[in-house]
Structure 1
Amino acid sequence: MHTFEIYEEYYDWAPLEGDSEARVHLLTYGGEDPPNMYQPQEPLIAKSYIDDVRRTRREYKRLLWMELNKINGVPKPVTLYEEAGAYMFYLALPGMDAENFLQAQVPEFIVSTLKQIGRYLSYLHKQEIKECPFVYSEDDVHTDLVFSHGDFKLSNVIVNENYITGSVDMIGIGIRDRYFDLAAMTLDIERVLGGEYLEYFYEGYRIKDHVNQEKMDQFIQLVEA
């Protein structure tokens, strides 16, 4: 029995909704016997860009690179299956996406979670970029280069009760200006929660009192383009 048949046979597949262009399922082990070394007991995510095998490979390659470089708070890859199409499998981060989580919370929980999201992004941005092969900073506006998520919005941040477990949809990771991710999350917080909550995200990132508004506006235009 090959890898994909194992997942089909022993795991229950539940489709996950979202704005991703990929087909995504949550897999939970449903076999009668205890799983072996090829059958992780933890919940898994199966993800496939159905019409673009290269995109599935590309995201899996980035997960492997982050795993090899010991970057925490991101999905841990398990395997890539390729035949008619391709599926990547990774361990599911515990929790739910921050967009749905925050819309059901009282203001004090929103405030504390946004501060944590800011701290998490600051952690990502502090990762070593010297050996990072994924570069997206050819444009002259990218002057303060960091390790960037590339699609940093609430639906891609995972919250488990009251703490951040990580982020998903990592196909766009690479070297960019820090304001690319800051602008993306700024737009999303304004859309989902309202502009009055931005200061708490900035506080977590530690730029509350010194946001470069000219640069923020420039990158908001870039993100929206």
Structure 2
Amino acid sequence: MHTFEIYEEYYDWTPLSSTSDARVHLLEYGGEDPPNVYQPKEPLVAKSYPDDVKSTRREYKRLLWMEMNKVNGVPKPVTLYEEDGAYMFYLALPGIDAGAFLKRQQPGTIISTLRQIGRYLSFLHKQNIDECPFIYSEDSIHTDLAFTHGDFNLSNVIVNENYITGSVDMGSVGVRDRYFDLAVMTLDIRKTLGSEYVQYFYEGYRIKDHFDAQKMEQFVRVVEA
């Protein structure tokens, strides 16, 4: 039995919403017998870009690289299935996306969560970039290079009972200016929660005291373009 057939037969598939062009499902083991080594008991995510097989391979390759380089707070890859298209499978991070979570929270919880999101991003940006093969910094605007997410918005951050468990949608991770991620999240917080909440994200990142407002607006224009 092929890998994909195992997942089809033994797991219950639940469609998940996605902000990208990907088709995403949550897989939960539903077989009568205990799963074997090839059938993880933990919930999985199956993800595919139906019209772009290369994007599926691209994201899975980045998950593998992050696993080999011990990057925490990102999905753990399980397998890539390629036949008449492509599906990548990874262990699901526990929780829900921060956008959905924060919309129903009181201001105190919103503030503490945004600080945690800032700390998480700061941690991600501290990963060693010396051997990273994924480079996005050809433009001269990228001067403060870091290991970045590439699409760091609230929907791609996972929250479980007020704690950040990680981030998803890792197809664009790589080396670029740290202000790119900061600008993406800044715009999303402004749109989703209000501009008054952005400062708490900066506090968590610990950039508030040496914040470059001119550079931020420059990257906001890049992201909006």
Task: Specify if TM > 0.5.
Answer: yes
- The AA in structure 2 aligned to 1:80 is L
Q: Which runs of structure 2 are paired with 1:71-110 in the superposition (5 Å)? A: 71-110=71-110
Structure 1 runs of 4+ aligned residues shifted over 2 Å read none
Structure 2: which 5+ runs fail to align? none
- The AA in structure 2 aligned to 1:126 is K
Q: Which residue of 1 aligns with 2:223?
A: 223
Alignment partners' CA distance in 2, 1:200 and 1:209: 12
- The AA in structure 1 aligned to 2:185 is M
SS of the equivalent of 1:214 reads: helix
Q: Which residue of 2 aligns with 1:7?
A: 7
Q: Deviations over 1:104-159 (max 9, x none)?
A: 10110000000000000000000000000000000000000000100000000000
Q: Which residue of 1 aligns with 2:111?
A: 111
Alignment partners' CA distance in 1, 2:14 and 2:92: 13
Alignment partners' CA distance in 1, 2:21 and 2:211: 32
CA drift at 1:18: 2.3
Alignment partners' CA distance in 1, 2:141 and 2:164: 30
Q: Which residue of 2 aligns with 1:202?
A: 202
* Root mean square deviation of aligned Cα: 0.5
Alignment partners' CA distance in 2, 1:212 and 1:55: 33
Identity rate of aligned residues, in percent? 76
Matched, 1:136 2:128: no
Matched, 1:169 2:169: yes
Alignment partners' CA distance in 2, 1:208 and 1:108: 19
Q: Which residue of 1 aligns with 2:48?
A: 48
Alignment partners' CA distance in 1, 2:133 and 2:111: 35
Q: Which residue of 2 aligns with 1:21?
A: 21
SS of the equivalent of 1:14 reads: strand
Alignment partners' CA distance in 2, 1:15 and 1:156: 16
CA drift at 1:209: 2.6
Alignment partners' CA distance in 2, 1:175 and 1:18: 24
Alignment partners' CA distance in 1, 2:140 and 2:201: 26
CA drift at 1:207: 1.3
Q: TM (normalized to structure 1)?
A: 0.99
Alignment partners' CA distance in 1, 2:173 and 2:91: 18
Alignment partners' CA distance in 2, 1:84 and 1:36: 26
Alignment partners' CA distance in 1, 2:17 and 2:178: 29
What count of residue pairs does the alignment treat as equivalent? Answer: 225
Q: Which runs of structure 2 are paired with 1:173-192 in the superposition (5 Å)? A: 173-192=173-192
SS of the equivalent of 2:117 reads: helix
Alignment partners' CA distance in 2, 1:171 and 1:19: 13
Q: Which residue of 2 aligns with 1:35?
A: 35
Q: Which residue of 1 aligns with 2:127?
A: 127
Q: Which residue of 2 aligns with 1:158?
A: 158
Alignment partners' CA distance in 2, 1:210 and 1:132: 27
CA drift at 1:19: 1.3
- The AA in structure 2 aligned to 1:35 is P
Q: TM (normalized to structure 2)?
A: 0.99
